[in-house]
Amino acid sequence: MNKQINKFLVDLPFIMIISLFLLTVMGITVTVVLGAFSHSWVGTVLPSDWTFYNIMHAWSFYEIGRYYIVSLKIVVMATFLSLVCAIPTGYILARKNFAIKGLLEKFFKLPILLPELLIGIPLASLFYSIGLAETYAGVVLVLMVIGIPFGLSIMIPFMEAMDSRVEIAAQTLGANKLVVITRIVIPQLIPGITTTLINVFVRLFANYALVLLLGGPGTYTLTIKVFSTLANARSESQGLLNALTVYYMIPMLGFTSLSLVLQNVLKKRFGSK
C-alpha cells in the first residue's frame, strides 16, 4: 500500500502537467469550434446565439475548396512518392550491411533534425534558378525531402522486426526475389506502410516553411492560407477566423484519428511484434 502511495506521489507532478496540457489543448479547440458557430461570444460561458453563417461564408470568402484541392494534389503525390522511395530504401537499410550504411542513416536523419529553413533556403535558390519554384513538381519534390526521411524513421523499425528466416526459407524452397517481396515482405509490412502513409500525409499537409519558400500563388496549400490569414487577424472577423481554423482542423484531426483507429485494427489483424 505504501509503495502504491509513494509511486502515486512520484507520478503526481507528471500527471498534473499532462492533465494541464490536455485541458489547455482541448479548451482551445472547443473554444475555436464554438466560436465558429456563434454570432458573438462575450461574457458568457457558452455563446448566446448560434449560426452557420461563419462556416458557410468562410468557405467562399477564403476559397477553402480551392485550397483543399491544391493541398490534396500536392500532398497526396508527395506522400505516395515518399513511400515509394522509403520502402525499398528502408528495406536495404534494415536488412543489409555495407560500408556506408551508418553514414546513410545519419544523412536521412538530417532533414528531420535540422530546421526546415536551413534546408529550404538553399533548395529555394536552386529551384528558382532552374525554374522549378512555384510549380507543383517543385513543391512536391521539396516536400519529399521531409517525407522520405520521416517515412524511413517509421518504416525501418517495422522492417527490423520482421523475421528474416521466413524470407530465407522461401528462397530455399525456390521462390525468387520478386515473389519473396510481393508474397512475404509486403504483406508483413501492411501495418507499417499504413501507419507511415497516414503520418507522412499529416506531416506534409501541415508543412509551412518549405511550401512558403518554394510555392507560389497557384501552389500554396491550405496551411499557407491559414497562417497568412492569421497574420492579419486584427483586420479579420473573429468568427470567420474560427471557421477557417475549423476547416484546417478537420483533415488534421480526421487523419490523426484514422491513424489511431487503423493501428488498433491492424494490431488485432496482424498482431504486434
Q: Which residues pair with 147 in a beta bridge?
A: none
- Which pLDDT score is estimated for 160? 85
pLDDT tens digit string along 143-192? 999 999 999 999 988 888 887 788 778 778 777 777 877 788 888 888 88
In degrees, to the nearest 5, what angle opens at C-alpha 62 toward C-alphas 61 and 67? 140
In degrees, to the nearest 5, what angle opens at C-alpha 247 toward C-alphas 244 and 259? 145
pLDDT tens digit string along 223-261? 999 988 888 777 778 888 889 999 998 888 888 787 777
CB 229 within 8 A of CB 241: yes
Above 50 in pLDDT, residue 272?
Answer: no
Q: What is the mean pLDDT of residues 124-138?
A: 93
pLDDT tens digit string along 89-100? 998 888 888 888
Q: What percent of the chain has pLDDT over 70?
A: 92
E strands present in the chain? none
131: alpha, beta or left? (left if phi > 0; alpha if psi -120 to 50): left
User: What CA–CA distances, in Å, run from 214 to 50, 220, 258?
Assistant: 40, 9, 30
Cβ density class 76-111: b for 16+ within 10 Å, e for less: ebbbbbbbeebbebbbebbeeeeeeeeeeeeebeeb
User: pLDDT: is 234 or 34 the higher one?
Assistant: 34
- Which pLDDT score is estimated for 273? 45
- Which pLDDT score is estimated for 75? 95
pTM for this one?
Answer: 0.82
Q: What percent of the chain has pLDDT over 90?
A: 34
Distance separating alpha carbons of residues 97 and 88, to the nearest angstrom: 15
Q: Which CATH class is domain 54-270?
A: mainly alpha
Compute the Cα dihedral for 85, 88, 94, 96 and give only its sign. Answer: negative
